[in-house]
Structure 1
Amino acid sequence: MAFEYLKSMSGGLDKNAVLSDIMLTYGEDVWNYAFFLSKNRTLADDVTQDVFVRVYERLYTFRGEASIKTWLLAITRNLVRDHWRSAWIRRVIPFGILRQEGQEPSAESQVIGLLAEEEVWNTVLGLPFKLREVLLLHAHHQLSYAEIAKLLNVSEGTVKSRLSRARAKVSQQLGEEGRKA
């Protein structure tokens, strides 16, 4: 869906209607990305809400240099990072509790109920942050190397390298799990 009207907001479009369209179109992607980054459902809920509050407040700042999805995912990434840096969350929520919640199977694997999908999901969640993030943006959100590079403020070569290492680690870990079974 093209949101050309974001460029012409002075044309009298209802800000609430624009936000509603954006939320309906990208809400699930924002939540999934927040969950992938945080491994915490409650934090993903909070971040998703904060993303759309921020979008509502700053809707007119969208410059159209990237897609709306890329803009939203950048906001999501920054807010997750802000939450983790917050002294409050480090004092109130012990790190071990957050890690345990991340071990639960994904919503997708619960719905589908396939053991193999759950295993892949947990393997991806176990990747180091930088590798997991690139793999998620490319495989799940279907962003191009250029879009990922712009979002993360790194070179396309770095994106390709991280993606290659992420895939290799997932393959290696799944291969080891297969030999154990």
Structure 2
Amino acid sequence: MDSTKVNGENEYLKYISDTADPKQVLRDLMVQYGNDIWNYAYSMTRRWEVADDVTQDVFMKAYKNITNFRNEASVKTWLLKITRNTVLDYQKSAFFRRVTLVDYMTTKATDHSAESEVMEQMAVSEIWAKVLKLPPKYREVLILYGHHQLSMKEIAAMLGVSEGTVKSRLHHARNKVIQLKESDANGSA
């Protein structure tokens, strides 16, 4: 990431953390990064209500820990890492596993659920729909790289893996999207 952009974001974070009004700090963070955080949470969970809950938790955690921000990454990368960790914690919870299992069983029992119809309508493009079909480890790197425009180094630090692993996952993710596209083309021909 461009160092002037990172410095600008860090100055922005210092400005909002020095603000006397806590509501304004939270509002500024949400306005600046809310869509990115929600989209990332949704891409990991593929559930609207969970993405809403995760997004709310992320901003509360960020606000509570704003003084611990070490300027080692951009504000956006810091918030995306909090998002990832919050989603992983949420997925480990017994509540999430029960709700997901119930949803899975009821979706299998019906032909088309309202949720699947909304998901199809919300797929802005053919490629986005294919990206959402990828396994989480591939979907995650593709979204962080393509949508959030993080560098390989930032993604590696965020995920706790080497840059080589990020490059490999990104390569496999792209190939899987191409395979899905080809299989759809062959199936409709």
TM-score scaled by length of structure 1: 0.85
User: Shift of the alpha carbon at 1:150?
Assistant: 0.8
For structure 1, the 5+ residue unaligned runs are: 110-116
Partner of 1:128: 135
User: Shift of the alpha carbon at 1:163?
Assistant: 0.2
1:51 aligns with 2:58: yes
Q: How does 1:1-181 map to 2 (within 5 A)?
A: 2-7=9-14, 11=18, 13-93=20-100, 94=102, 96=104, 101=115, 104-105=119-120, 107=122, 109=124, 117=125, 119-181=126-188
1:73-115 residue CA offsets vs partner (Å, 9 max, x unmatched): 0011111111110012222442516897467136361xxxxxx
For structure 2, the 5+ residue unaligned runs are: 1-7
Distance 1:98 1:6 in 2: 43
Distance 1:51 1:102 in 2: 26
**How many positions carry a matched residue from both structures?**
173
Structure 1 contact 131–162 (Cα < 8 Å) conserved: yes
Change (3 A) 1:58 1:106: farther
Structure 2 contact 16–28 (Cα < 8 Å) conserved: no
Letter in 2 for 1:16: K
Partner of 1:113: none
After superposing the two structures, state which structure 1 stretch, 51-60 or 136-145, moved more. 51-60
SS at match of 2:71: coil
Q: What value does the CA root-mean-square deviation take over the aligned residues?
A: 2.3
Change (3 A) 1:136 1:79: same
User: Shift of the alpha carbon at 1:8?
Assistant: 6.8
1:44-63 residue CA offsets vs partner (Å, 9 max, x unmatched): 00100111111121111111
Structure 1 contact 106–121 (Cα < 8 Å) conserved: no
1:6-54 residue CA offsets vs partner (Å, 9 max, x unmatched): 3477855543322222111100000000000000001000100111111
Distance 1:144 1:16 in 2: 32
User: Shift of the alpha carbon at 1:66?
Assistant: 0.5
Change (3 A) 1:18 1:134: same
Aligned residues with identical type, % of pairs: 49
